Structure 1
Amino acid sequence: MYPDVVRDERFGKITAEDIEYFRSVLAPGSVLTAAEEDLSGYNIDSMRKYHGQSQLVLKPRSTEEVSLIMKRCHARKLAVVPQGGNTGLVGGSVPVFDEIVISMSLMSKVRSFDEVSGILVADAGCVLESTDQYLAERGYIFPLDLGAKGSCHIGGNVATNAGGLRLLRYGSLHGTVLGIEAVMPDGTIFDSLGKLRKDNTGYDIKQLFIGSEGTLGVITGISIFCPRRSKVVNVAFFGLESYEKVQQAFVKAKGELSEILSAFEFMDTASQEQVARFSELRRPLDEAHNFYVLVETSGSNRVHDEEKLQTYLEGLMESDIIADGVLAQDETQVKNLWTWREGIPESLGKSGGVYKYDVSIPLDELYQLVEDTRVRIQEFGHDIGTEGSNVVNVVGYGHLGDGNLHLNVAVKQYDKQIEYILEPWVYEWIEKRHGSVSAEHGLGFAKKPYLKYSKDQRVIELMRQVKKVYDPNGIMNPYKYI
């Protein structure tokens, strides 16, 4: 599962004394050993592609307990892997060898919420969906929405700089996260849980933790700016015949919907056919189209918003940009339409294995990668489709608003030949367009060899230097991209 990787002998091996120490500083039931329990759930990633060998899982309940854990690990050179909901797609949240897993699942309290400023302070182990529900009761919204929201942790979201479905409206976590509390590799507590939206006092150190994937420290808490929840949400779903028309629809959406535009998701016909195979819902449009777009608006005035969206759709029809469309009439239809976008990953997984490439590409060439991938797959003797043993299904969808493409290559089972066809070819293709090999989810283990396709060697060396300053023993999430 981890080719060409050898355990680093600089790291210590867990002893009975270590386990006894952890039992003495953590609450009962917070120390799980392989001798006593099945730890497979902590050792396998969500894609079931990477399998670690951790013999010890620790479940702290406070930042102080994390500090005590890290002091011991630093002194003994015991390697650790911070783990949230373990929903990542690049093997970044699971061990490679016998690293200690620090599970944040018991640190799940909201510490404070200011209903005037909208600033939330919460433990890193808070589940995204539960946190959003807490905010909804107070008229606010968490500025991030993901398909895995029912199980992912907000600390893990920050650690991977998750983008999600509504980055177009709320921006990235680099802008909304106001402060971070983290435990450094030596056990020192980095307390920067600021609640100020403006603080221009030197280096913004917290930014290094956003997207660091647990390589610099253990994020234990965050403060984040949460916008008011919109009173009115409208969703439109329409079909288009070319990627060029998808781009035209996006340009018009930015111009005509502007302040109420919260999502602009595009999907190709292959993705919708896949969802239809595993869904009992009736398809939104009667006829098939080459592309589909889901537009969401969020505002405060129903009449105003509906008029703007209706005018936008009529303009698209008159300009022959869209072939057909539907506007959700109630909340049930809103949820049903979103299913045709959010249900894509799950439906692909039901077919077997999936090679996922979550990348950023300039908009004009975004979908070209999908088309070129299909050609390459066929050049190596495979058919494109969903039926048959030699068939590969190549699907493209994503967040057009931020240039984020989800290229998914679905197979009956993981196959080294398919992997050889795709890698590093996909990343070389992206490098030529000055794109990014990771738009979301981070780099983890899966993309470790491909960082060079997005980052200059001098930048990579600077990253190594930062890692060495923060983690001189290299015990934080080793064997990954740094």
Structure 2
Amino acid sequence: MARQTGVLHFAGMTQRQKKEVARPGETVALPALVHTSHQTAVLAPDFGSAPALCLRAAYSYPQVKRLDFGKITPQTVDFFKSVVGEAAVVTDQDDLLFYNEDQMRKYRGQSSLCVKPKTTQQVSEIVKYCHEHRLALVPQGGNTGLVGGSVPVFDEIVLSLSGMNKIRSFDHTSGILKADAGVILENADNFLAENGYIFPLDLGAKGSCHIGGNVAANAGGLRLLRYGSLHGSVLGLEVVLPDGTVYDSMNALRKDNTGYDLKQLFIGSEGTLGVITGVSILCPARPKAVNIAFLGLESYEAVQSTFKRARAELCEVLSAFEFMDRQSQWQAKRFLKTPHPLAQDDPDVDVPEYPFYVLIETSGSCKEHDDAKLETFLESIMEDGTVADGVVSQDESQLRTLWTWREGISEASNMDGGVYKYDVSLPLPVMYDLIEVLRARLDEHGLRSLSDASKPVVDVVGYGHIGDGNVHVNVVVREYNKTVEKCLEPYVYQWISDHHGSISAEHGLGFQKKNYIGYSKSAVEIALMKDIKSKFDPQGIMNPYKYL
């Protein structure tokens, strides 16, 4: 990787200055929960209160009681087998664990039935039956969500879209892809790559998440700066409504100004208004030249200045601008176990002592043009001291390596025992203040220490998408702890509201944040959302206990 040290320098390095920087509602009722601090919880069946639980430690959840939905009977199972076949109906308790438990291992439902249809017609028959018998169901994609939105709370039927995994069509001229909702994001992108196009969304979970789930959650990801949100990319949807009716707007039109744009209601609805079964999406041409610069900076103000100048000077080729604090890089270092990009020549340094790091990606159609623009930009910000150090990728392998230091943070944050994740939007000037405020608050309560194992919190790390004002706050803990949770919530949501932010930038509301929506939405907005939910799903069978 080419090195930047004060001036553009593609071979070797010069002495660089180093600065010493210190390293970094209601109450819960869990049914028959037995735990030890680092062991798996044991849950006795009890439908009287919420079965959601956190593994490895006791946790606090809103009090929830099972609503008056129908119960699964042998006749229910037989009917679903007649629709999808016996092999596509899961009733074994061990096999059901994957569908009952979320990725973070915080929430576990008690569903005794998972159905895996392969066609929209099968989904329609399943949902119609549930409607007629008032059976609650949870649409589930790759189950990679982070707010408990894709797993049951009680005994809801899991409707897995994993069997709907076909590419329906692709227009090589317009770049419009039509596909089943259960197509894995990485598979869709690989298909498009073979045809010279790119999926307008990229996530760390791309190897598991489904494009239908991405749309249902309105996922943001790493390409939003360049390609915008799914509200702009999605051209049409196929959705099975709560009564089994199929809403089909799988058109390939970029312009259709006839009436309400109903598909927008389902983008970000988290399975509460219907089951997305098909997606029509506009995909851009795949860039032929991609560069990555990985930079070290001395302050958050320098991060903002670098972003402002990158937008102006890199403009049409700027495709990603990610920031990371030193604490997040320290977490990633423990997970990746490889030399840090800015410490390749100093094996004694785990992570260089810059408080902030930035990853800039450019992508375009002409390598010489893009290289020249990036080189000019880097020379400028290095010479005036905005950036202290940096490297530039020289090939595809180095490009992927640099991305791992951003994408590996999330998984690395789980290494100590657990993590409280807050995915929020804030105005750029105050975005990093939230991390500093939370560190100070946890210190005031005597809860945080890097070295003292008796303290429940290891550290607070911050990273995210500067390009769209989205910061990921990871409170790394040795175990989930009620005292920590009470210290964090609702304080963190009130702080975000006071600073005109959103409590969820891209992960959604799910089960975790449903009771806090009032910190981001007005009473009028919430009432309108409830009216829409009631109109589409008057029985409330679609993904209950979530969202609203």
Alignment partner of 2:204: what SS? coil
Among 297, 310, 324, the alignment partner of 2:389 is: 324
Query: Could you tell me how far 1:387 is from its partner in structure 2?
Result: 5.7
> 1:187 and 2:187 equivalent?
no
> 1:118 and 2:175 equivalent?
yes
> 1:422 and 2:494 equivalent?
no
Q: Deviations over 1:266-298 (max 9, x none)?
A: 000000011111223211113320000000000
Residue equivalent to 2:74: 16
Q: Percent identity?
A: 63
Query: Could you tell me how far 1:389 is from its partner in structure 2?
Result: 3.2
> 1:250 and 2:307 equivalent?
yes
The separation in 1 between residues aligned to 2:63 and 2:437, in whole angstroms, is: 30
The separation in 2 between residues aligned to 1:78 and 1:136, in whole angstroms, is: 41
The separation in 1 between residues aligned to 2:451 and 2:365, in whole angstroms, is: 43
> 1:431 and 2:489 equivalent?
no
> 1:210 and 2:267 equivalent?
yes
Contact 2:447 2:484 in 1 (8 A): no
Contact 2:298 2:354 in 1 (8 A): yes
Contact 1:61 1:106 in 2 (8 A): yes
Among 13, 17, 31, the alignment partner of 2:89 is: 31
The separation in 2 between residues aligned to 1:123 and 1:26, in whole angstroms, is: 17
The separation in 2 between residues aligned to 1:121 and 1:309, in whole angstroms, is: 35
Query: Could you tell me how far 1:319 is from its partner in structure 2?
Result: 1.8
Query: Could you tell me how far 1:384 is from its partner in structure 2?
Result: 3.9
Residue equivalent to 1:154: 211
Alignment partner of 1:255: what SS? helix
Contact 1:264 1:293 in 2 (8 A): yes
The separation in 2 between residues aligned to 1:386 and 1:474, in whole angstroms, is: 48
The 5 Å alignment of 1:76-225 reads 76-225=133-282
The separation in 1 between residues aligned to 2:212 and 2:360, in whole angstroms, is: 29
Contact 2:335 2:408 in 1 (8 A): no
The 5 Å alignment of 1:304-315 reads 304-315=369-380
Contact 1:386 1:393 in 2 (8 A): no
Q: Which amino acid aligns with 1:346?
A: E
Q: Which amino acid aligns with 2:545?
A: Y
Alignment partner of 1:349: what SS? coil
Query: Could you tell me how far 1:385 is from its partner in structure 2?
Result: 2.6
The separation in 1 between residues aligned to 2:482 and 2:145, in whole angstroms, is: 21
The separation in 1 between residues aligned to 2:464 and 2:254, in whole angstroms, is: 30
Query: Could you tell me how far 1:383 is from its partner in structure 2?
Result: 2.9
Query: Could you tell me how far 1:18 is from its partner in structure 2?
Result: 1.1
Contact 2:460 2:474 in 1 (8 A): yes
The separation in 2 between residues aligned to 1:3 and 1:302, in whole angstroms, is: 53
Residue equivalent to 1:412: 478
Q: Bigger CA drift: 380-389 or 207-216?
A: 380-389
Q: Deviations over 1:3-44 (max 9, x none)?
A: 4100002x1001111111111111230111146x53111111
Contact 2:192 2:199 in 1 (8 A): yes
Alignment partner of 2:463: what SS? strand
Q: Bigger CA drift: 99-108 or 324-333?
A: 324-333
Among 525, 530, 535, the alignment partner of 1:459 is: 525
User: Which protein shows a greater Rg?
Assistant: 2
The separation in 2 between residues aligned to 1:408 and 1:364, in whole angstroms, is: 20
The separation in 2 between residues aligned to 1:31 and 1:425, in whole angstroms, is: 43
Residue equivalent to 2:323: 266
Residue equivalent to 2:108: 51
The separation in 2 between residues aligned to 1:349 and 1:405, in whole angstroms, is: 18
Contact 1:92 1:480 in 2 (8 A): yes
Query: Could you tell me how far 1:386 is from its partner in structure 2?
Result: 5.8
The separation in 2 between residues aligned to 1:201 and 1:128, in whole angstroms, is: 31
> 1:378 and 2:436 equivalent?
no
Contact 1:352 1:413 in 2 (8 A): yes
The separation in 2 between residues aligned to 1:320 and 1:60, in whole angstroms, is: 58
> 1:469 and 2:526 equivalent?
no
The separation in 1 between residues aligned to 2:340 and 2:240, in whole angstroms, is: 49
Q: Which amino acid aligns with 2:64?
A: V
Q: Deviations over 1:136-173 (max 9, x none)?
A: 00000000000000000000000000000110000000
Residue equivalent to 1:282: 339
Contact 2:192 2:198 in 1 (8 A): yes
The separation in 2 between residues aligned to 1:301 and 1:476, in whole angstroms, is: 48
Alignment partner of 2:236: what SS? strand
Provide structure 1 residue ranges, at least 5 long, that are not aligned to the other structure: none
Contact 1:384 1:394 in 2 (8 A): no
The separation in 2 between residues aligned to 1:365 and 1:6, in whole angstroms, is: 39
The separation in 2 between residues aligned to 1:205 and 1:318, in whole angstroms, is: 51
The 5 Å alignment of 1:363-402 reads 363-385=428-450, 388-390=453-455, 391-402=457-468
Alignment partner of 2:307: what SS? helix
Query: Could you tell me how far 1:449 is from its partner in structure 2?
Result: 1.0
TM-score after normalising by structure 1? 0.98
The separation in 1 between residues aligned to 2:185 and 2:508, in whole angstroms, is: 18
The separation in 2 between residues aligned to 1:462 and 1:42, in whole angstroms, is: 31
Alignment partner of 2:375: what SS? helix
The separation in 2 between residues aligned to 1:152 and 1:437, in whole angstroms, is: 22
The separation in 2 between residues aligned to 1:115 and 1:440, in whole angstroms, is: 30
Q: Deviations over 1:234-275 (max 9, x none)?
A: 000000010000000000000000000000000000000111
- Runs of 4+, deviation exceeding 4 Å: none
Provide structure 2 residue ranges, at least 5 long, that are not aligned to the other structure: 1-52, 54-60, 344-351
Contact 2:503 2:520 in 1 (8 A): yes
Contact 1:214 1:477 in 2 (8 A): yes
Contact 2:170 2:178 in 1 (8 A): yes
Q: Which amino acid aligns with 2:523?
A: Q
The separation in 2 between residues aligned to 1:385 and 1:400, in whole angstroms, is: 27
Alignment partner of 1:417: what SS? helix
